[in-house]
Structure 1
């Protein structure tokens, strides 16, 4: 080995599995890279390489948390921006309607009739609409909901797809005539 090539070699930092003391190896899965035990499947220890941390963008001193009284903050998390309590994890208050534009139409959930449909964004950045009573009510739509009733089955909600309206009931899905 020459002196120049020794400059470019990095020392191997072998981490050992805390369960079986075998070396950990970098592996790839559906959620990205991770460290896994080299003795797999005998040992199934895994460790994430990247933690999804939430960072505070701005503290809102004039806004108090309704649960604990501490200040609220604009935070950036795994799924984007949101408003939450600065005393997390002791207080887990989060404002769910932060992304909703002013004057947005609020539609009642057709399944539980108690919650309202709110627009949300999944981890891939795609919008969907779900019941505000989640997890009690798991009603959700991938397309924008519109007020109206289906002419075929009478379901009390329609969805807009490519400038046409369809029944929001997944069992029906009938195209509605243009009024």
Structure 2
């Protein structure tokens, strides 16, 4: 049976002392937010000093060997941020290049609202898929269901969407005023 060396505990008691706030000298305490833990001043709201417990605010999951950033030629890495996983430059914050892990699916369906762009598959921050015009922010057209390049036979709108209605897959006009439904063939 091994003995515990109590001298180690008494020598390092000062290591557990709280760190002082660099702005007001108050005590820094660990706090929790919806984005994770951080250190904040105990004199809040008088002092607003906070510090992230991760230096860059993003956790590097894996460095992608053989990849290079198109802006600065540094290696790219898979990182974890507030909205999930993404690819970013390892030279952050000097280089702020980021890419989505999920490739956006260009449907080649012309946008019926502006006529200039095409509908592109995107994922919301909650993980839900939707389709929007690639000319955003000039065109803000969005549909939540999968678009089909068939014009509506009733109102003439440039596309229909696939929607499950009462257990059957149907083509539905996305215009609220029309609402035409036809059975999927």
C-alpha distance 41-129 of structure 1, shift in aligned 2 (>3 A): same
Is contact 1:150–1:174 with CA below 8 Å preserved after alignment? no
- Secondary structure of the corresponding residue to residue 111 of structure 1: coil
TM-score by length of 1: 0.62
1:1-179 matches, within 5 Å, as: 3=6, 6=9, 11-12=15-16, 14-50=18-54, 51-53=57-59, 56-60=63-67, 65=70, 75-77=77-79, 78=81, 79-80=84-85, 92=97, 99-100=103-104, 105-150=107-152, 153-162=155-164, 163-169=169-175, 171-172=176-177, 174=179, 176-178=181-183
- Secondary structure of the corresponding residue to residue 107 of structure 2: coil
CA distance in structure 2 between the aligned counterparts of 1:11 and 1:173, rounded to whole angstroms: 70
Is contact 2:76–2:90 with CA below 8 Å preserved after alignment? no
Q: Mark the structure with the bigger radius of gyration.
A: 2
Is contact 1:145–1:168 with CA below 8 Å preserved after alignment? no
Displacement of 1:132 in angstroms is: 1.8
Q: Which runs of 5+ in 1 are unaligned?
A: none
CA distance in structure 2 between the aligned counterparts of 1:31 and 1:91, rounded to whole angstroms: 20
How many residues are paired up?
166
Q: Which runs of 5+ in 2 are unaligned?
A: none
C-alpha distance 129-45 of structure 1, shift in aligned 2 (>3 A): farther
Alpha-carbon displacement from aligned partner over 1:127-147 (angstroms, at most 9, x marks no partner): 222222233333333332222
CA distance in structure 2 between the aligned counterparts of 1:173 and 1:45, rounded to whole angstroms: 54
C-alpha distance 27-106 of structure 1, shift in aligned 2 (>3 A): same
Is contact 2:109–2:119 with CA below 8 Å preserved after alignment? yes
- Secondary structure of the corresponding residue to residue 16 of structure 1: coil
CA distance in structure 2 between the aligned counterparts of 1:139 and 1:16, rounded to whole angstroms: 51
- Secondary structure of the corresponding residue to residue 128 of structure 1: strand
Tell me how large the CA RMSD over aligned residues is: 4.2
